[in-house]
Amino acid sequence: MAGPEDITLFSAVDRTKEPGFFKRFLDEGNKLPGIIASKPIILGGLQLKGGEKVFDAGCGLGDDTFEIARLVGNEGHVVGVDVSETMILEARRREAAHALTVEFEVGDAQALRFADATFDACRTERMLMHVPDAERALAEMVRVIRRGGRLSVFDFDWETQIVDSPYTETTRQITRSFCDSFKNGWIGRRLPRLFRQHAMTDVSVTPQTIIINYPFLELLLGGHLARARSARVRYRLRMLNNGGPISARRTKLEPSYMDSPR
């Protein structure tokens, strides 16, 4: 079995060696108690009463899109869009198990095909950290919801990640490099300002703390650490070929250095 992919590559799932890893990562992530607890908060932000047209940006495997479809009922309409064809194909496959009408399509959140004010509400979860231009994607979501519509966003600020580990400096290097490897590792702290800059009103913030176990931590960080080790090896080989100091970078990045959060 192949090792974990680098989850900071979610914007390029279809071009990775193992796209199926990202499906497994989402399924396992959705089992975490903190993520489960966040779902009603995200949906509550939409204030759905039934009959609405709702857009799910970065819909992934479609599980949350199905829940929205249940809430809006037969009079409503839900569209889920994801940049990954792998995700959309899986969402359409899962749709067969639901007696719901949902539309899934491949698309770029930074350049949506929909006309202005098409939807009553929009949600996105754990997507903006991956989008090359998060501000453009947010502007597009605002554009396609009607005046008075609702936008609900859930995303992380990766620099607030903490890990219980006896290896203080190594852990700091890992968590910081992981944050910086995202296209928008600070998107969580930026969201209130971006909402206001795009003329959204009645902005509210609900902080959530997600506690993860060690098996999921391996999924989360394993690919990033493998890529960091590979880059370190290439650096050392390049220095060797150039006659440089081989010991210039000796920081070891090993997932086994970190204790499981309890």
The model's pLDDT over 48-78, given as tens digits with 9 standing for 90+, comes to 999 999 999 999 999 999 999 999 999 999 9
- For 17, half-sphere exposure in the C-beta direction (CA atoms, 13 angstrom radius) is 7
55 — phi, psi (to 5°)? -110, 130
In this predicted structure, the answer to whether residue 149 has a pLDDT above a threshold of 60 is yes
- Evaluate if residue 247 carries a pLDDT over 70: no
| Lowest model confidence (mean pLDDT) among 138-142, 164-168, 191-195 | 164-168
**CA 208, 212, 217, 219: dihedral to nearest 10 degrees?**
-80
Q: In angstroms, rounded to a whole number, what is the distance separating the alpha carbons of residues 106 and 228?
A: 31
Q: Can you tell me the mean pLDDT for 156-179?
A: 93
Check residue 119 and give its pLDDT.
98
Average pLDDT over residues 131-155: 97
Who wins on pLDDT, 207 or 233?
207
User: What pTM was estimated for this model as a whole?
Assistant: 0.86
> What percent of the chain shows pLDDT beyond 90?
80
What pLDDT shows up at residue 236?
47
DSSP secondary structure code for residue 35 in this structure:
H
pLDDT, mean of residues 163-177: 92
243 φ/ψ angles, rounded to the nearest 5 degrees: 75, 20
Q: Is the pLDDT of residue 37 over 70?
A: yes
Predicted confidence at residue 85, as pLDDT, reads 98
Compute the average pLDDT of residues 113-125.
98
CA distances (Å), 245 to each of 8, 170, 234, 242, in order? 31, 21, 14, 9
Which of the two residues, 229 and 211, has the higher pLDDT score?
Answer: 211
The pLDDT value given to residue 16: 94
Q: What does the pLDDT read at residue 232?
A: 62
Largest CA distance in the chain: 70
pLDDT score of 138 more than 50 = yes
Q: Percent of the chain at pLDDT above 70? A: 87
Residue 55: name the closest of 138, 108, 124 by CA.
Answer: 124
Kindly write down the DSSP assignment for every residue of 206-240, as one continuous string. Answer: --------HHHHHHHHHHHHHHHHHHHHHHHHHHH
Query: Where do the domains of the chain lie, and which CATH numbers do they carry?
Result: 7-159+184-211 (3.40.50.150)
- From the list 174, 157, 166, the residue with the least C-alpha distance to 209 is 157
Cα–Cα–Cα angle for 23, 52, 65, nearest 5°? Answer: 10
Query: 254 pLDDT exceeds 70?
Result: no
Per-residue confidence (pLDDT) for residue 226, from 0 to 100: 87
Which candidate, 257, 26, 228, 53, places its Cα nearest to that of 126?
A: 26
Q: List the one residue out of 7, 5, 3 whose CA is nearest residue 156.
A: 7
Q: What is the model's pLDDT at position 244?
A: 39
Burial of 238 (0-12, 13-18, 19+ CB in 10 A): exposed
Q: 261, 171, 152: which is closest to 225 by C-alpha?
A: 171
Four-residue CA torsion sign, 179, 182, 187, 188: negative
